[in-house]
Amino acid sequence: MSNAIKPWIFTASCPSMIGTVDVVTRYMAKARNYIDEIHSFDDRVSKRFFIRVEFKPSDAEFTVEKFNDVFADLASEFDMEWDLTEPDHRPRVAILVSKYDHCLNDLLYRHRTGQLNIEVPVIISNHPDLEHLAEWHDIPYHHLPITPETKPEQEADIVKLLKQYDIELVVLARYMQVLSPWMCEQLNGKAINIHHSLLPGFKGARPYHQAWEKGVKMVGATAHYVNNDLDEGPIITQGIQTVDHAFYPEDLISKGQDVERVTLFNAIRYHNEKRVFLNEGRTVVFSS
């Protein structure tokens, strides 16, 4: 891992107008904040401007309160909404999972080795199968069985746990349940889901077997924010891998799971590094 000093992260959005980049960079220079990285985008369709800045303060008396107090007067002219993230902030992430362990295993490994700068205070599942992984990592594991009849109660219990553990982000690491509209509303903009992406689209049971029967030449995965449209929330990251006639169904599954792992990891990393902005029904993503 790098020993470099971690930067502060400034993110903001506002209506499109002249001077948006200037008001940010001019203030950073005046406040003696050294800019390490800067990305901006002006969406001519939504007419909205987005900016992300990584910076290191040179002023020994720098504080969040001082930054916000001074910048507020400048930002008001642009109707700008902004956020400041401290270098040592580690978001509290709850992982929801069913029986597939490939995404959970990968996330826990990256968490343990510091590749993901997060806290994982709880794992929640509708099956008991993966409790041993949670125990090995010394993370509380809550088994909440679900049936069509008990779905409302089970989802309410999940929400209670999220509040109990003060969760900032929920990751559906192959949680094989369709969330209710109520649950989607609770998690709107605060949950990331991962699922396979196959073209043509193969829905229902055994999608990789369906894809093999059609001679699919590409497997992939999509990570997106959860909303009330099943598997159609705002997309954060996608991954693909070419395959050919030599790949049997079990090979397609293995390759697809590889892509799912990396795609989900990148989505969580981008979210945690404040590289993702919701822009109406789409996203603006400043990749690293």
Q: pLDDT for 232-250, tens place per residue? A: 899 999 999 999 999 999 9
Across the beta sheet with 48-57, the strand order is 33-43, 48-57, 8-15, 81-85
CATH ID of 8-85, from 3.30.530.20, 3.90.1150.10, 3.40.605.10, 3.30.70.260: 3.30.70.260
138 carries an active-site annotation: no
Using alpha carbons only, give the angle 283, 211, 100 rounded to the nearest 5 degrees.
65
The per-residue pLDDT for range 69-94, each reduced to its tens digit, is 999 999 999 999 999 999 989 999 99
The chain-wide mean pLDDT, for the chain, equals 94
Give pLDDT, residue 6: 87
Q: Which of 43, 231, 251, 258 is the catalytic position? A: 231
Residue in this structure with the two tokens 């553990």, named with its chain if needed: 165
Domain 8-85 and domain 92-285, same fold? Reply is no
What torsion, rounded to 10 degrees, do the Cα atoms 11, 90, 196, 243 define? 90
Architecture of domain 92-285: 3-Layer(aba) Sandwich (3.40)
Give pLDDT, residue 2: 47
Query: Which pair of tokens denotes residue 217?
Result: 């030449």
Domain boundaries of the chain, sorted by first residue? 8-85, 92-285
Q: What's the rounded Cα separation, in Å, for the pair 117 and 270? A: 11
pTM here?
0.93
Q: Which of 117, 112, 51 is nearest to 84 (CA)?
A: 51
Question: pLDDT tier at 8 (50, 70, 90 boundaries)?
Answer: very high
How many CA atoms does the CB half-sphere of 144 hold within 13 Å? Answer: 22
